[in-house]
Structures are given as C-alpha cells and as structure tokens.
C-alpha cells in the first residue's frame, strides 16, 4: 500500500510518496513503556520533525528507526517493504544515516578521517587489498575521497580538514558529524538534536545547512529538536510525542494550534 501521491509544500517543493512508515510501534524496557503504539510516516524529500517534552521518547523513536532498538510490537516499512529486525549497520547500509545527541566522533582523528569513516558502508575491498593499499582498495579510496571532499566543500569545513576533531569547538564538531552522516549518501538522514547547545549564529548556520542538504541532495530528513522556532521554520510536518504517546501530527501551524500539544508543553492541572 505504497502511497505515491505526495504533496506540495508551502514553498513549492514536491514531496514524494512514503519513504518510511512506522505502524503501531511500541517499545518497552521492562515495565517502562518508552513508546506506546505510535504510527506515522516519513515521505520522500520532506523534513520531518519529532518534538516533545523531555522524556517523551523522541530519541528512542529515532533509535528504533536506526535499528538500535528493536520495537516490542509494531512494524517498520521502508521503501515499500516491511523491514525485519536488523542490526544498526544493516540499517545504515540500507541508506539511513544519523547524527547523535552527544557527539560521537573519533576525537583523535582528523576531520577528514572522521568523515571518511562515513564511507565505510560503501567499501567492499578485502582486508589484504586494504592492507597493501593496492588494486580495489586504492581505487575505492580515491573514489570515496572525492565524495568526502564534496561534502567537505558543501559544509564549508575545508580549513579544518586536517585538524584533529578533539581540538574543534562544539559547533564545528556538530557540523563534522553531519558531514560524516552525509558522506554515506543516506536517503534518510536522522538528526538527534542537531542544534542543542549552539548559539544563535551557529543555529542559523546549521539550519541553512539542513535546508541546503534537503534541497541539493534531495535527502529526506527526520530531526529531533527542542528549539521551537527552528522546528517551525525548518520542518514540513511535525510529530509531537508526550509520555511515549503521539499527541499531534501535522504541519507546524496545525501542531501549534493543537490543544493537546499546548497542554503538554505548558502543563495542565491533573
């Protein structure tokens, strides 16, 4: 039942059919229900945001999508097919890239090497070839390096190409992480709080890059973010979660007017 209709956004972008669909996902850790029967979809080419108060289950949701958690119940459909339980690296090979809430880069390695690791899923040369750096491994590396350089150019981080990541300020590390995710050429990019802890200028830069990625590469983006201004400006559709449940889903305007959402954020007397 693949939906191929799509829709057109306010700024005139054509959004395609369903890329990923989550049906009645429930995730339990012992007695704790982190995600409770949630259903939503992500369409090709859109920027989809997941928002909600602390502890609402947003990051768990992202981890389900990236294959880090296997849902207790429910189904994941990806590109029109039901996705069996998978390891995260298998999910990555299928074209799902991600960044982490707490930066997860190799601090001692240079930016270039870190971004190169994003290409690992595309490397197939054997151990021997890699060790000798001959034949397939060499051709592959040149090929991959070119793709990585395009990402470096795109995110404007040429000047720190050879700088060890550990010496970079926070905002730049976030950008390097995005670069690594992009280097894998994902069809679905998951961003876990890409702007947490940034100042206004860094947020503006990052927003611009997210829009550019979506625009230039047509990458579908699913992001978690706390800054409401950013979410409302960037995303095409928003899912709102609270205590593991979905309490809203729609365009930013629809969500903003939703009484349940307002209550969840502002609090209601129980």
- List of residues contacting other proteins (CB under 8 A): 12, 112, 145-146, 149-150, 152-154, 156, 158-159, 161, 212, 215-216
> 5 vs 146, which CB is nearer to other proteins?
146
- The residues, ordered by sequence, that sit 6+ positions from 249 with a Cβ below 8 Å of its Cβ are 40, 237, 238, 239, 240, 255
233 contacts 203 by C-beta, under 8 angstroms: no
CA angle 150, 153, 155 (to 5 degrees): 110
d(CA 32, CA 27): 9
Task: Output the smallest distance, CB 158 to other proteins, in A.
Answer: 5
Task: Output the smallest distance, CB 118 to other proteins, in A.
Answer: 16
Task: Output the smallest distance, CB 95 to other proteins, in A.
Answer: 23
> 156 vs 204, which CB is nearer to other proteins?
156
> 14 vs 259, which CB is nearer to other proteins?
14
Task: Output the smallest distance, CB 163 to other proteins, in A.
Answer: 11
> 155 vs 239, which CB is nearer to other proteins?
155
> 25 vs 111, which CB is nearer to other proteins?
111
Task: Output the smallest distance, CB 154 to other proteins, in A.
Answer: 8
Query: Among residues 147, 149, 155, which one has the least CA distance to residue 176?
Result: 155
- The residues, ordered by sequence, that sit 6+ positions from 56 with a Cβ below 8 Å of its Cβ are 241, 242, 243, 244
Expressed in percent and rounded to 5, the helix, strand and coil fractions of the chain are 40, 25, 35
The two beta strands, 237-242 and 73-78, are: unpaired
């Amino acid at each position: 039942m693949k939906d191929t209709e799509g829709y057109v956004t306010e700024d005139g972008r054509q959004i395609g059919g369903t890329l990923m669909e989550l049906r009645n996902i429930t995730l339990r850790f012992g007695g704790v229900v982190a995600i409770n029967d949630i259903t939503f979809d992500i369409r090709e080419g859109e920027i989809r945001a997941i928002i909600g108060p602390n502890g609402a289950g947003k990051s768990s949701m992202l981890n389900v999508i990236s294959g880090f958690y296997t849902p207790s119940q429910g189904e994941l459909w990806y590109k029109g097919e039901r996705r069996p339980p998978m390891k995260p690296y298998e999910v990555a090979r299928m074209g799902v890239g991600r960044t982490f809430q707490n930066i997860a880069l190799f601090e001692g390695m240079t930016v270039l090497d870190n971004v190169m690791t994003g290409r690992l899923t595309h490397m197939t040369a054997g151990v021997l070839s890699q060790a000798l750096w001959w034949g397939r491994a060499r051709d592959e590396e040149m090929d991959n390096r070119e793709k990585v350089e395009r990402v470096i150019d795109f995110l404007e981080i040429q000047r720190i190409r050879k700088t060890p990541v550990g010496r970079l300020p926070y905002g730049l590390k976030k950008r390097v992480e995005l670069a690594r995710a992009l280097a894998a050429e994902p069809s679905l990019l998951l961003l876990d709080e890409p702007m947490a802890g940034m100042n206004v200028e860094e947020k503006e830069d990052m927003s611009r890059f997210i829009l550019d990625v979506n625009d230039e590469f047509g990458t579908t983006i699913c992001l978690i973010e706390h800054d409401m201004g950013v979410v409302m400006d960037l995303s095409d559709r928003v899912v709102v979660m609270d205590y593991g449940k979905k309490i809203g889903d729609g365009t930013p305007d629809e969500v903003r007017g939703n009484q349940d959402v307002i209550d969840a954020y502002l609090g209601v007397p129980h």
